[in-house]
């Protein structure tokens, strides 16, 4: 009977030892995943800041386009610039904005 009890105790010790090892492995994996998560959060924050900066530039460029259109209309009336030329300039400005968005 005592042998059976000692055998069960030994099996329990082995299982506890295995569980401790598995727990250690899982803790290491968890640390690794936490570090990766922190890095991804930092990249996300950087990307968000970059998007905000680009959005501000877009707003400024759109404002510049609106001003340029107003000025071109005023100057086209004075200089005699055709609507086609104005359209070309607008397309060129919009192309430049598209390039900046990339």
pLDDT above 60: residue 77:
no
- Average pLDDT value for residue range 81-98: 84
Q: What is the pLDDT of residues 11-51, one digit of tens each?
A: 999 999 999 999 999 999 999 999 999 999 999 999 999 99
Q: Which domain holds residue 92?
A: 2-101
The overall average pLDDT reported for the chain is: 88
DSSP string, the chain: -HHHHHHHHHHHHHHHHHHHHHHHHHHHHHHHHHHHHHHHHHHHHHHHHHHHHHHHHHHHHHHHHHHHHHHHHHHHHHH---HHHHHHHHHHHHHHHHHHH-
Share of the chain above pLDDT 90, in %: 58
**How many domains, in total, are found in the chain?**
1
Share of the chain above pLDDT 70, in %: 89
pLDDT above 80: residue 60:
yes
pTM for this entry: 0.53
Q: How confident is the model at residue 10 (pLDDT cuts 50, 70, 90)?
A: very high
Q: How far apart are CA 67 and CA 3, in angstroms?
A: 95
- Average pLDDT value for residue range 46-60: 94
């Amino acid at each position: 009977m005592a042998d059976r009890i000692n055998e069960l105790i030994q099996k329990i010790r082995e299982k506890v030892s295995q569980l401790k090892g598995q727990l250690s492995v899982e803790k290491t994996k968890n640390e690794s995943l936490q570090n990766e998560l922190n890095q991804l959060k930092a990249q996300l924050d950087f990307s968000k800041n970059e998007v905000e900066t680009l959005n501000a530039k877009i707003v400024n460029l759109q404002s510049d386009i609106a001003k340029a259109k107003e000025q071109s209309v005023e100057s086209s009336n004075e200089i005699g610039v055709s609507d086609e030329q104005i359209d070309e300039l607008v397309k060129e400005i919009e192309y430049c904005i598209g390039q900046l968005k990339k």
